[in-house]
Copies of this chain bind each other. A is one copy, B any other.
Amino acid sequence: MADFELIKSLARKTDTKIVLLVMDGLGGIPHPKTLRTELEAARKDNLDRLARSSQTGLSIPVAHGITPGSGPGHLALFGYDPIKYLIGRGILEALGLDMDVRDGDVAARGNFCTLDDDGLIIDRRAGRIPTETNTELTTLLNGISVDNATPIVASGREHRFAMLFRPEDGGPQLSDALTDSDPQREGLAPLTVTATEPWADSTAGIINTFLEKAASAVADRHPANGLVLRGFSTTPDLPQMSDVYGLNPAAIAAYPMYRGLAELVGMNVVETGDTIEDQIRTTRDIWNNHDFFFVHYKYTDSAGEDGDYDAKVAAIERLDNALPALLDLDPDVLVVAGDHSTPSAMAAHSWHPVPVMIRSRHVTAGFAEAFTERECAKGMLGTMAATDIMPLALANAGKLDKFGA
């Protein structure tokens, strides 16, 4: 991995443009039913043609054998050491819902859930209630007041919400050294939040008081008659992409978490639609305003996580179908990468190396016949750290000076 300080010292501004197209959960393994990966099964002429004119390789998001969450997977693609820079789940979710997160706030990811008569969780997702119901419930929660902090709740999709505990002016500071109230299993009651460091005792008390009042407020709202919180966290102090790379970056992402992540590294997060066609249109609309475009495609991961091989193949094919509109923008550097593998055969994120291709007028192509795990493995980039992708993109864009005399 290149040294972050080194990259910063070499970065220079140019008017070349880089597109980083992230296909979430891109990589796969051969499925028992086809002996092919999803990339090997998909009909994707545009991606395959691109692979034949690109530099290819396989990327390791964190380290061999390590299965990354979305945070570490994306930070690595942005060139940030994912072990050094950690982002709490609560912060990611809150930013992704466009909450006004401030220094000192403690954020959490919340789920509405279904409790039985004994108070045990029988559905961690409350039957995936309609988002409208969620909005009614968060309005109830936003009416709750506790001493020494202001709870602020924002609705997500279905059963999801994010919240902030904001310290009062001149009041005690809050800490995120807290255990989850979400047991992450059904058949258990929501847990009491406890401090993992002594200085977090008062924050634990504030949050438990909130949770008691919130439980009463939703008690008669079956199937969403309970709630749990997890991933308590405060804002990390991440280097900004403008400072490190000299870039003026934009994020074109539909899903909250990826929008939040992009904001943390200093991208301009723009409004866009839910489809890849929407996202490419948005990219075109802002083409003259930026020099780096992070386009995030979620559906490969969703299908992989659902264990739906055919849906993941279809998601790849949908992206392939939309690709010409992106190619029409003629970026100086086009990177197609994944934040991690999500093999549908495993129905989960995994540690497997992720195909990557980089197209610019400075690459040596001709190794990969198609955009697949096995073909990309033949490329000159080899099996590499994902954090090396960003320096390679910058170099291909002419945005890195020579090192040393």
Partner-B contacts on A (CB < 8 A) = 1-3, 6-7, 10, 29-30, 37, 57-58, 62-72, 82-83, 86-89, 92, 109, 231, 343, 345-346, 348-353, 362-367, 373-374, 377-385, 388, 390-396, 400-405
Contacts and interface: CB of A to CB of B under 8 A. Distances in A.
Given A352-B364, A364-B373, A383-B381, A62 B2 contact: yes
A106 B25 CA distance: 53
Contact of A83 (B3, B346, B393, B405): B3
A29 B405 contact: no
Nearest to A233: B405
Contact of A395 (B66, B363, B365, B373): B66
Q: Which 10 A-B pairs have the closest CB atoms?
A: A65-B391, A382-B383, A89-B405, A2-B63, A64-B388, A69-B404, A65-B395, A72-B404, A65-B392, A351-B395
Contact of A71 (B349, B392, B405): B405
Contacts of A7: 65
Contact of A64 (B66, B350, B381): B381
Each complex incorporates copies of this chain amounting to: 2
Given A6-B83, A29-B363, 10 more contacts: A1-B63, A65-B394, A66-B395, A67-B403, A88-B405, A231-B405, A364-B373, A377-B378, A377-B379, A382-B383
A52 to B, nearest CB: 13
A363 B27 CA distance: 12
Contacts of A64: 2, 381, 384-385, 388, 391-392
B364 A405 contact: no
A362 B346 contact: yes
Give the most central of A86, A381, A405: most B CB within 10 Å: A405
Contact of A63 (B89, B343, B378, B391): B391
13 contacts: A2-B65, A6-B83, A37-B364, A57-B383, A63-B391, A65-B391, A65-B393, A68-B403, A87-B405, A89-B405, A367-B374, A373-B380, A381-B383
